[in-house]
Amino acid sequence: MQTYNIHDAKTQLSRLVEQAANGEPFVITKAGKPMVKVIALNAPEPSQNKRFGFMAGQTHVPDDFDRMGEEEIVKIFEGDA
């Protein structure tokens, strides 16, 4: 993806807008720092990596989850007393 400083973007705005409309997005920088990304309005939305809750409703936590393996853990720490 091409980057242009803000001065160059102003100078070449018509050409850059046409380029973006044809599916070639670009980034405008100010003092070397990316400020905006210019893309066509009809460009597909980038997929969002939504990870939190991606398995909602697909798993089950047992009621005794906090006590699972309790006997084995006690044996490990307290021995076979």
Residues shown for the chain: 81
pLDDT: which is higher, 63 or 53: 63
CA neighbours closer than 13 Å in the CB half-sphere of residue 74: 7
pTM of the model: 0.54
User: What tens digit of pLDDT does each residue of 5-42 get?
Assistant: 999 999 999 999 999 999 999 999 999 999 999 999 88
Torsion angle, alpha carbons of 68, 74, 80, 81, to 10: -130
Please give the class, per CATH, of domain 2-41+53-78.
Answer: alpha beta
